[in-house]
Amino acid sequence: MKHFRKLIFVCTGSDCKKAGAKKLYKELKEVTDEVPLKGSCKFIKTKCMDMCKTAPNVIVGDYFCKNTSAEKVLTQIKKS
């Protein structure tokens, strides 16, 4: 079993999808497939996180990214 240093949870509930979560998920996977993050992150699609008003939502470690973008999530990945 492969071990990842970081687990990133991306909400794919209906409101997050409408707010661009699908595109965000794809962007994050593409960017983290590049060096130096290659192989260090595991992205997990989740059901609704019950924070619909702040969509799209992503959890990086113990940090909750609300109304987020790929740039904000990448910054948090690098911090954690």
pLDDT digits (tens, 9 = 90+) for 9-63: 999 999 999 999 999 999 999 888 876 777 888 999 999 999 999 999 999 999 9
- What are 49's two structure tokens? 């996180």
**Number of structural domains found in the chain:** 1
Within a domain: 23:
yes
Q: What is the pLDDT of residue 78?
A: 86
b vs e for 30-53, b when ≥16 Cβ sit within 10 Å of the residue's Cβ?
eebeeeebeeebebeeeeebebee
Q: What is the pLDDT of residue 35?
A: 65
Within a domain: 1:
no
Q: Is 71 exposed, middle or buried (0-12, 13-18, 19+ CB in 10 A)?
A: exposed
Q: What is the pLDDT of residue 33?
A: 81
Within a domain: 25:
yes
Closest to 80 (Cα-Cα) out of 23, 27, 9, 29: 9
Q: What residues make up the domain containing 24?
A: 6-79
Q: What is the pLDDT of residue 58?
A: 98
Q: What is the pLDDT of residue 19?
A: 97
Give the CATH number, domain containing residue 37. Answer: 3.40.30.10
